[in-house]
Structure 1
Amino acid sequence: MSTASHLKYLAAYPAHILSQVERLIADNRLADHLRQRYPDAHDVRTDKALYGYVQDLKDEYLRNAEPVSKVAYDSKIGIVQQALGLHTAISRVQGGRLKAKHEIRIGTVFRDTPPAFLRMIAVHELAHLKEKDHDKAFYKLCCWMEPDYHQFEFDVRLYLTQLDLGGERLWA
């Protein structure tokens, strides 16, 4: 298998990082590395609990942002959209006004992951309430809500690589 095909989630990282990941894969230690860094899974299992979790983050960091009307795990994410989570705004006319309902959907693969992974995805989707594009302001907002955002994102990419290689789900 070529580097490009099994490290697709890590393609933008520098060569020295990719070589370290290649070594973990070659030595069959990627799963152990992830388990050692993140020994436990979170306990946010239901859509109701996920809504509460995301709402608590929103209330703490984005109090003045538009409300989120729905938050749910979605089994189709990752298969259809090639995404980890989705933020959608559905606009409707009510009377003479245009109102937007914001929904956040998180891939079910994150139902059984460490708290850091769920937090990274939730922070990412919440940041879209304020910043639509993945630009400098967007990532600055993500890092304000979660200072270790970039490390967690990298580790999520490692986990997706583990799954892509046919490895087992580590926290299920």
Structure 2
Amino acid sequence: MIGGLHILIYFYLYNSLRQDLAGSTLTQGFFSFLSKPLLENENNFDSKLYKLSIAIAFIYALSMSFIAFDFIMSLDTHFYSTLFGIYYFMASVLAALMLTVIISSMLTLKFNLQKLLRKCNFMIAEKLMFGLSVFWLYSMYSQFLPIWYGNMPEETGFVGLRVLKILTKLLFGLF
């Protein structure tokens, strides 16, 4: 699954760069295959990239869910949750989006790119991060609620460990 994701990403990157650098003299040596003139049937890159982006997003969601089930849930053998893959996937998407916003804001300040990246662009990204974090909280709460109120002994330990650690740090920080 992850190998297929890498192949799709490389194919997407190849088509994206091929569209931008076709006929250019900037690429020489190893990357000269990108600057070859386009063939007659290679004009419609946008629809190909659109279809590839949908496939990449779907396979990324599946592979991150499988990674969450295999690597993280296997650490606690008595805990199982069907929503854990969604929770982990949303956490990884949020982390990537936050890292993108931090890096782009640092580059904006360093290279004086205020005309290219305005405050409204960052505000849109902040709104998206807020919406995705609400969905992330909803996915955690929807697995927390049945575990806590159902008093399922095989799953209460998992939630108790994670919630009580956070609450004790929060309480000691407040008082």
- Please tell me the TM-score bracket, short chain as reference: under 0.3
Please identify which structure carries the higher helix content.
Answer: 2
Higher relative contact order (CA closer than 8 Å, sequence separation 6+): 1
Of structures 1 and 2, the larger Rg is shown by 2
